[in-house]
Amino acid sequence: MLTKRIIPCLDIKNGRTVKGVNFLDLRDAGDPVELAAKYAQEGADELVFLDISATEERRKTLANLVLRVAEQVNIPFTVGGGISSVEDVDILLKSGADKVSINSSAVKNPSLINELSAKFGNQCIVVAIDAKQIDGQWKVHLVGGKVPTEIDLFDWAKEVEQRGAGEILFTSMDHDGTKNGFANEALAKLAELVNIPVIASGGAGNTRHFIDTFKIGKADAALAASVFHFKEIEIHALKSDLRSAGVLVRI
């Protein structure tokens, strides 16, 4: 059985780590290079770096900042934000990223997933899906959650797997930053539908939420931000509690 992964997320805006609630009301959470180094030392399994305003501002991910973070960590490192071409991915992998995360660009041009997977291998390609419930249906949103679509979360998840995604990073916009727990019902459905790892994102507030997303939501990994940034949960202690609850993690 594969171990479950704990993944701190660095949402980057103007070169700083930020965190909000439901994708709004962002507040500063520190220097991304310092936080990355700290999390690597504390036992994080991976890191995710998302340049959250790159798509909206129509610019590329901050490759020089990616390089600085990569120099500080010895764990897998995923980078997303403003990625829309083979050239973009090539630059980020050469800057030290192990994987890339694509979101809006994949929805607008689904064949990009096929192209990137063929060029770099599906182990490098994470498709991030931001979704919220509208009239009881999970609908995909783009551009940092600002642009709604009529695309169904589950249909899109199946398509991205077929096109060559190696992982899905699902963020529930309804749960993001609320600290009320992950969207476990949707996560469990995703786990049934696809055969690639699903990373749970949005809603972590305490250790029980992590246990539940692994046991009830069947997530392969759990991503969180503010509970780690603001020292509400310590990664070593979290992993110890997960082990005690019967969840297999790397200590």
DSSP string, 148-213: EEEEEHHHHHHHHHHHT-SEEEEEETTTTTT-S---HHHHHHHHHH-SS-EEEES---SHHHHHHH
What distance in Å separates the CA atoms of residue 104 and residue 101, rounded to the nearest whole number? Answer: 10
Structure tokens at 173: 């916009």
What distance in Å separates the CA atoms of residue 245 and residue 209, rounded to the nearest whole number? Answer: 12
Please count the residues of the chain: 251
Question: Annotated catalytic, 130?
Answer: yes
Helices (H), the chain: 32-42, 63-70, 86-94, 104-108, 111-120, 153-163, 184-193, 207-215, 226-229, 235-244
Question: Annotated catalytic, 45?
Answer: no
What distance in Å separates the CA atoms of residue 9 and residue 227, rounded to the nearest whole number? Answer: 10
Catalytic residue of the set 130, 176, 212, 220: 130
Q: Residues with catalytic annotation?
A: 11, 130
